[in-house]
């Protein structure tokens, strides 16, 4: 998982002194209210965190992964079984800019996940407490600077499953919902 510091309203956190970093709300969609910053932009990042706190949100501070420019990988699981995956283009633009008007999931293309990506996604889902298997889930991965996959997000509540990009995924989703609804 990407190293993450959670900053609840009323808390303060030291911001990274070297390397770009990201500030975003703990609950969001499509990178809304998210931005990357340079070490020279601490004041701007602190104002961003304060704005998130005023809105009642916990902020997350993460290192900016330079390989994110290659895009995130979205792995979709239906009924606990891997269904399909897409590569999403990068969404954070110029440092210090919060651009909520940008496209949430640009440049979607089919992706064949590596064995390491599948293993990591399955491990992330295995860590989720509660009913097993989940009806649906999306695990968003990126590559760390050393090339290893890391979990960016675990989407469990109303995720975009990108079924418009996978007819078989749409059919599997309908089957999983039907099977769950008719199960005793």
Residue 130's CATH number: 3.30.470.20
Kindly indicate the confidence band of residue 15, based on its pLDDT and cuts at 50, 70 and 90: very high
| Same domain as 113, residue 46 | no
Neighbours of 25 (CB within 10 A): 21
Distance between CA atoms of 88 and 143, rounded to whole angstroms?
Answer: 13
Phi-psi region of 29 (alpha: psi -120 to 50; beta: other; left: phi over 0): beta
Kindly indicate the confidence band of residue 141, based on its pLDDT and cuts at 50, 70 and 90: very high
| Same domain as 84, residue 13 | no
| Same domain as 111, residue 40 | no
pLDDT computed for residue 184 by the predictor:
63
34 or 117, higher pLDDT: 117
Structural domain of 113? 70-91+99-182
| Same domain as 55, residue 103 | no
| Same domain as 150, residue 111 | yes
| Same domain as 22, residue 109 | no
The model's pTM is 0.82
1 or 31, higher pLDDT: 1
- Percent of the chain residues topping a pLDDT of 90: 52
For residue 97, pLDDT beyond 80:
no
| Same domain as 170, residue 85 | yes
Distance between CA atoms of 8 and 47, rounded to whole angstroms?
Answer: 14
Q: Is 136 exposed, middle or buried (0-12, 13-18, 19+ CB in 10 A)?
A: buried
Give me the mean pLDDT over the 15-41 stretch. 88
Mean pLDDT of the chain: 87
Q: At 16, which CATH number?
A: 3.30.1490
* Domain count across the chain: 2
Asked if 88 and 108 count as a contact pair (C-beta separation under 8 A), the reply is yes
Asked if 159 and 88 count as a contact pair (C-beta separation under 8 A), the reply is no
104 or 46, higher pLDDT: 46
CA max distance for the chain: 58
| Same domain as 107, residue 50 | no
| Same domain as 142, residue 58 | no
Q: Is 110 exposed, middle or buried (0-12, 13-18, 19+ CB in 10 A)?
A: exposed
List, in sequence order, the alpha helices (H) in the chain: 42-54, 115-126, 167-182
| Same domain as 85, residue 141 | yes
């Amino acid at each position: 998982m990407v190293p993450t510091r959670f900053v609840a309203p009323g808390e303060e956190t030291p911001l990274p002194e070297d390397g770009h970093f990201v500030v975003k709300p703990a609950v969001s969609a499509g990178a809304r209210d998210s931005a990357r910053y340079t070490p020279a932009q601490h004041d701007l990042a602190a104002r961003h965190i304060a704005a998130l706190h005023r809105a009642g949100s916990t902020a997350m501070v993460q290192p900016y992964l330079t390989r994110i420019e290659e895009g995130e990988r979205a792995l979709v699981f239906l009924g606990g079984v891997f269904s399909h995956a897409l590569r999403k283009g990068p969404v954070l633009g110029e440092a210090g800019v919060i651009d909520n008007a940008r496209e949430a999931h640009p440049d979607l293309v089919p992706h064949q996940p590596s064995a390491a990506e599948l293993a990591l996604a399955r491990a992330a889902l295995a860590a989720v407490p509660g009913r097993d298997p989940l009806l649906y889930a999306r695990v968003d991965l990126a590559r760390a600077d050393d090339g290893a996959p890391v979990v960016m997000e675990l989407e469990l509540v109303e995720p975009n499953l990108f079924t418009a990009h996978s007819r078989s995924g749409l059919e599997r989703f309908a089957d999983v919902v039907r099977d769950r609804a008719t199960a005793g």
